């Protein structure tokens, strides 16, 4: 059922070769260039070199489902490729122009952008010339319920005027970030899910200020997670994506594929952590025996294999359903994998850290940084609890269609 197509297998072989020949050897170069720059948001030359090489090999925009913009792979075909990229998450997604949040933003601009948006923003994004950010979450309100979003978008003649404060706007500190897709309220008196709209806002528009980068467990990620203020930011009415009140509809369209890409990469990270755990357990000796001979360590290795394979199969099932019956019908599986994949990967990375001893929490190995990144995936794109709430509601209504509906 989940057998790879001929072309997906070709891409997989090409990507594996690219990882071995270029990405893994570049990891140390990347670390050295970042350390030398002393700026956490520096764009190291090695990343641009990798982009050139990936493009030359045809490993570019692999995520894009529409054939006019990329190879037009299905979600099921893309899944194993994203998993491979997840093994080197700082480098491989950006090298192949498959990074979040650009992938979701490119999808939105493809589906809902005007020809002008597509020329000004989508084309350079697809070319890897610029990057983008998605600004929905706000510090002042519980943003996992997006109906709480407060940023105001008020119509004024031919313009909209934006006022508000966002945070966790990932990528806004990337040196190439030029554009934000912003969610805000155009009509607070409209029905609850028609109050919000999305607009395309240049990051250098007067009144947009990137206030600071938020650290994650002390790490300042290169792309940055920014707190951004909007003070009387004036954009033309043509900045609107789709129509007024369509913000919720767009966010649903955007988050389905984005969520599953994160999960695929998380499975790849878990695989790499398992490899590291095994190598370390085989190479260290305590009390006369390799650590790998201990029953509890073998239990962790076996449990990790079982859990990773379960997470991968659920991810592939979600991808298959998205391709065959659509994102809406696949919503239970999309929500389920968004909970399962980061949790499985976290468990595997945690075991790998333990097997490494002190080295596991240092930055001589990628495990500590993997852990920090994966932990955020239990929050980003919706916390576990919100996805579980949705799954439970759909399950309850499967038995009683009226369950929880207001009469
Ligand atoms: C590294 C990182 C990157 C991010 N990138 C982006 C980005 O690019 N753009 C963007 O807009 N946002 C981004 N986010 C923000 C992320 O999407 C939000 O943090 C998330 O949606 C939760 O919103 P909140 O932080 O306001 O938490 P709140 O809404 O305040 O929720 C807090 C907690 O309450 C609990 N909770 C909430 N609802 C329920 C419920 N129904 N039942 C039980 N418990 C519940 C959950 O445990 C939840 O974690 C990012 C976050 C992180 C950490």
- CA atoms 138, 142, 146, 152: torsion sign: negative
- φ and ψ at residue 286, rounded to 5 degrees: -130, 145
**172 CA distance to ligand 1 middle (Å):** 18
Tell me the mean pLDDT in the region 61-70: 87
Tell me the mean pLDDT in the region 197-218: 98
Q: Which CATH superfamily is domain 131-241 in?
A: Butyryl-CoA Dehydrogenase, subunit A, domain 2 (2.40.110.10)
Asked if 165 and 151 touch (Cβ cutoff 8 Å), the reply is yes
pLDDT of residue 407 exceeding 70: no
Tell me the mean pLDDT in the region 284-303: 98
- φ and ψ at residue 266, rounded to 5 degrees: -65, -40
Q: Whose CA is nearest to atom 12 of ligand 1?
A: 137
Weakest-pLDDT range from 40-54, 226-240, 251-265, 387-401: 251-265
**309 CA distance to ligand 1 middle (Å):** 27
Rounded Cα gap, residues 283 and 289, in angstroms: 10
- For the chain, give every domain's residue range: 6-126, 131-241, 249-399
Q: Whose CA is nearest to atom 8 of ligand 1?
A: 170
**220 CA distance to ligand 1 middle (Å):** 19
Which structure tokens are listed for 42?
């520096």
Q: With cut-offs at 50, 70 and 90, classify the pLDDT of residue 295.
A: very high
Spatial CA neighbour of 112 closest among 199, 241, 240, 12: 241
Q: Which CATH superfamily is domain 6-126 in?
A: Acyl-CoA dehydrogenase/oxidase, N-terminal domain (1.10.540.10)
- φ and ψ at residue 228, rounded to 5 degrees: -130, 130
Quick one: CATH architecture of 249-399? Up-down Bundle (1.20)
User: Residues of the chain with pLDDT > 70: what percent?
Assistant: 100
Q: What pLDDT score does 404 carry?
A: 87
Q: What pLDDT score does 258 carry?
A: 77
Spatial CA neighbour of 89 closest among 151, 39, 136, 19: 19
Question: Which residue, chain included where needed, has tokens 């700082």?
Answer: 90
Tell me the mean pLDDT in the region 93-117: 95
Asked if 269 and 86 touch (Cβ cutoff 8 Å), the reply is yes
- φ and ψ at residue 139, rounded to 5 degrees: -70, -30
Spatial CA neighbour of 269 closest among 35, 34, 83, 48: 83
Which helix (H) or strand (E) segment holds residue 161: the answer is: strand 159-170
Which helix (H) or strand (E) segment holds residue 58: the answer is: none
Asked if 43 and 175 touch (Cβ cutoff 8 Å), the reply is yes
Residues with CB under 6 A from ligand 1: 101, 134-137, 142-144, 168-170, 216, 225, 376, 379-383, 385-386, 389
**Residue 300, exposed/middle/buried by CB under 10 A (0-12, 13-18, 19+)?**
buried
The 8-class DSSP code of residue 243 comes to S
Rounded Cα gap, residues 49 and 235, in angstroms: 35
């Amino acid at each position: 059922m989940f057998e790879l197509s001929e072309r997906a297998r070709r891409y997989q072989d090409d990507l594996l070769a690219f990882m071995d020949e270029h990405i893994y050897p570049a990891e140390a170069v990347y670390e050295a260039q970042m350390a030398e720059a002393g700026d956490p948001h520096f764009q190291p030359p090695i990343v641009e070199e990798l982009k050139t090489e990936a493009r030359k090999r045809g490993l570019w925009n692999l995520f894009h489902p529409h054939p006019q913009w990329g190879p037009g792979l299905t979600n099921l075909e893309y899944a194993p490729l994203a998993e491979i990229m997840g093994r080197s998450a700082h480098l491989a997604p950006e090298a192949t122009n498959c990074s979040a949040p650009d992938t979701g933003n490119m999808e939105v601009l493809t589906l809902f952008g005007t020809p002008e948006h597509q020329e000004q923003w989508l084309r350079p994004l697809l070319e890897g010339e610029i990057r983008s950010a998605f600004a929905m979450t706000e510090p002042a309100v519980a943003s996992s319920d997006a109906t709480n979003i407060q940023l105001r978008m008020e119509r004024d003649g031919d313009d909209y005027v934006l006022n508000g404060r966002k945070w966790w706007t990932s990528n806004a500190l990337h040196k190439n970030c030029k554009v934000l897709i912003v969610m805000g309220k155009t009509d607070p008196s409209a029905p609850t899910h028609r109050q919000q709209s999305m607009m395309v806002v240049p990051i250098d528009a007067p009144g947009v200020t990137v206030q600071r980068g938020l650290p994650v467990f002390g790490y300042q990620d290169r792309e940055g997670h920014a707190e951004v203020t909007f003070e009387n930011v004036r954009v033309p009415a043509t900045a609107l994506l789709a129509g007024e009140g369509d913000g919720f509809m767009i966010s649903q369209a955007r988050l389905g594929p984005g969520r599953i890409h994160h999960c695929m990469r998380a499975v790849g990270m878990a695989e790499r952590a398992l490899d590291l755990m095994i190598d370390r357990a085989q190479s260290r000796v305590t009390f006369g025996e390799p650590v790998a001979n201990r029953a509890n360590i073998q239990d962790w290795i076996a449990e990790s294999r079982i859990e990773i394979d379960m997470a991968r199969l659920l991810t592939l099932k979600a991808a298959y359903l998205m391709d065959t019956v659509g994102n809406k019908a696949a919503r239970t599986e999309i929500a389920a994998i968004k909970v399962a994949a980061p949790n499985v990967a976290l468990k595997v990375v945690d075991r790998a850290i333990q097997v490494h001893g002190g080295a596991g929490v240092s930055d001589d190995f990628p495990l500590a940084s993997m852990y920090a990144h994966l932990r955020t995936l239990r929050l980003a794109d919706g916390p576990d609890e919100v996805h579980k709430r949705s799954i439970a509601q759909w399950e309850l209504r499967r038995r009683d269609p009226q369950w929880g509906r207001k009469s």
